[in-house]
Amino acid sequence: EIVITQSPATLSVSPGERATLSCRASQGVSSNLAWYQRKPGQAPRLLIYGASTRATGIPARFSGSGSGTEFTLTISSLQSEDFAVYYCQQYNKWPPLFGQGTKLEIK
């Protein structure tokens, strides 16, 4: 069974700086990886699919990279609205599996 590991669990970054979040799969998942943002009381939002394709309406400061087992979500210049919890999800093998999440907090 595939295991999805996100790191770090919590990331403290100042507004305007770059944030780099990691997602690792225990087996190769090709480019079948998505990233989501979740804020308290709001619906989770799809940010990235296909490891690097931004979803509709997602700002260009969000970018995804990687393939196989190592993936990265980069937020180039953090805005106040970007502080949230981020999840990755593999969909290369059934059933779809999520990581445990990275909480991005204001430093």
Partner 1 sequence: QVQLQESGPGLVKPSETLSLTCTVSGGSITNNYWSWIRQPPGKGLEWIGYVSYSGSTNYNPSLKSRATISVETSKNHFSLNLSSVTAADTAVYYCARNSGNYGLMLYYFDYWGQGALLTVSS
Q: One-letter amino acid identity for 80?
A: S
Return the residues of window 52-91 that contact partner 1 according to CB under 8 A: 55, 87, 89, 91
- Name the minimum Å distance from CB 16 to partner 1: 29
Does 45 engage in binding with partner 1 (CB under 8 A)? yes
Does 94 engage in binding with partner 1 (CB under 8 A)? yes
Residues β-bridged to residue 13: 106
Provide the 10 A C-beta neighbour count for residue 85: 18
- Name the minimum Å distance from CB 2 to partner 1: 13
- Beta strand pairing status for 102-106 and 10-13? parallel
Does 96 engage in binding with partner 1 (CB under 8 A)? yes
- DSSP for 9-34 reads SEEEE-TTS-EEEEEEESS--TT-EE
Does 100 engage in binding with partner 1 (CB under 8 A)? yes
Phi, psi of 69 (to 5 degrees): -120, -10
Tell me the window of 10-18, 19-27, 65-73, 95-103 that interacts with partner 1 (CB under 8 A): 95-103
List residues near partner 1 by CB under 8 A.
32, 34, 36, 41-46, 49, 55, 87, 89, 91-92, 94-101
